[in-house]
Chains A and B, each alone.
Chain A
Amino acid sequence: MSDERNIGEAILDVKNISLSFGGVRALTDVSFDVREHEIRAIIGPNGAGKSSMLNVINGVYHPQQGEITLYGKTRKDMKTHYAAESGIARTFQNIALFKGMSALDNIMTGRNLMMKTNFLQQAFYLGKAKREELEHRAKVEDIIDFLEIQAIRKTPVGRLPYGLQKRVELGRALAAEPKILLLDEPMAGMNTEEKEDMSRFVLDVNDEFGTTIVLIEHDMGVVMDLSDRVVVLDYGRKIGDGTPDEVRSNQNVINAYLGVSH
């Protein structure tokens, strides 16, 4: 779905990434780029290495080979807080919310990087600390409105149904006002209605805030509808890269999904 959004230059460049765990090769020599303001999908059969790829971009896993160029700065070893400070936020496949806190507090943690007061100021909660807390609270409430989760904001997330947890997690990622949003199967386990809602959120985020989105998804319909370009992984290697139409007619991709031995 490419209207004339101003898709810019490549801001994230992944080059020759190879990653292994012990004897298992998760990724082999994967390279692709992500352009500003676009919605980039990563697809592939299970175990293809998609989540590992996101983890590498984020700095959670460290590749044995390859490098990542973010906004022109190249790093072999991405650190998680550097990624966070550079404006990358993400959601996880198996929801990584803070189960002991409420939905509101979870989303507020997304603002932590932007909070400047130190613990002592917060302990006294006068003036600056109070102002800052309420300021960020207002922004977080905007996100809560955007995601339509007002009713559950004080509920401990452990008690929320799966679909709502996913929304809260998205909210936490959005709270950081990221430039690049990495979404790991945001629609997993949802019914059609929920998927439509989530798709709408993703599009709105991209539209309203211009956030670049890298998205792992299994639902082909969603991928074809939402994304500008697609990367296809299989057994840790890249087997396709292009627009949804190009990828759809790529024989290698078809073989991979149909399970034709290759």
Chain B
Amino acid sequence: MEKTQNNKAWFLVLPVLVLVAFSAVIPLMTVVNYAVNDTFGNNQFFWAGLEWFDEMVNSQRLHDALGRQILFSAIILAIEVPLGIYIALNMPKKGFWASVCLVLMALPLLIPFNVVGTIWQIFGRVDIGLLGHYLAKLGFDYNYVSDPVDAWITVIVMDVWHWTSLVALLCYAGLQSIPNAYYQAARVDQASRWAVFRYIELPKMAGVLLIAVLLRFMDSFMIYTEPFVVTGGGPGNSTTFLSIDLVKMAIGQFDLGPAAAFSIMYFLVILLVSWVFYTVMTNLDKEEGK
């Protein structure tokens, strides 16, 4: 819809553009610079071309981290999305308890990431953590410091605890937009609960669900603070996900070149996936609008 032109709006956007340029575009260019040079960070640059990219693509260590990361994101999505939908379907729609539920759901989202990590780190400790202590009492051999499987389980449970509310809240909002007449019609049509979910609720939630999945995928793919605080990437490198590996490389080993190359590739992968999601979403919208 072409509204009558008003060019003053562009001037209002200018300050934001400057800020974004300063905080995002310039650092990005710096990283690109590092990715194609060999340097020890002392401002001496030797042209390396695509050597770092070559090394990274062929690095076994990168492949391992990538494999772990993909597995992690897949498990996270597989648990959080159905769980979030289930919670949203069962949350009260109005009244006093609706407000209570909304607040409870929002609480985990408000906690800073490193605090979340710290909570679970202590919570899971066998000696002083509530969870670790009682699991040990019940006879489970639980120790996230030494056992890789336990470490994974802890990190996954922590992420589910932290982020499922986001999916639940988004789906809840989607459900609220369904007019009552649809439910009434379903009762009249003698539809089963499953049919109501499949034909009324799920289609209406499709838009927000896609946003939720996109957000969760992006966040889990880039996850750093929480697992790092709990396990430090260990035991060994069993919970070393992509960004943890990247940081180890860049800051731990000071391999700036490879790390920069890695960052760029990481960035492009996320950009690609986001673009795919976005296109799917806008196509859904277009169909809806017809």
Are A and B co-members of a single complex? Answer: no
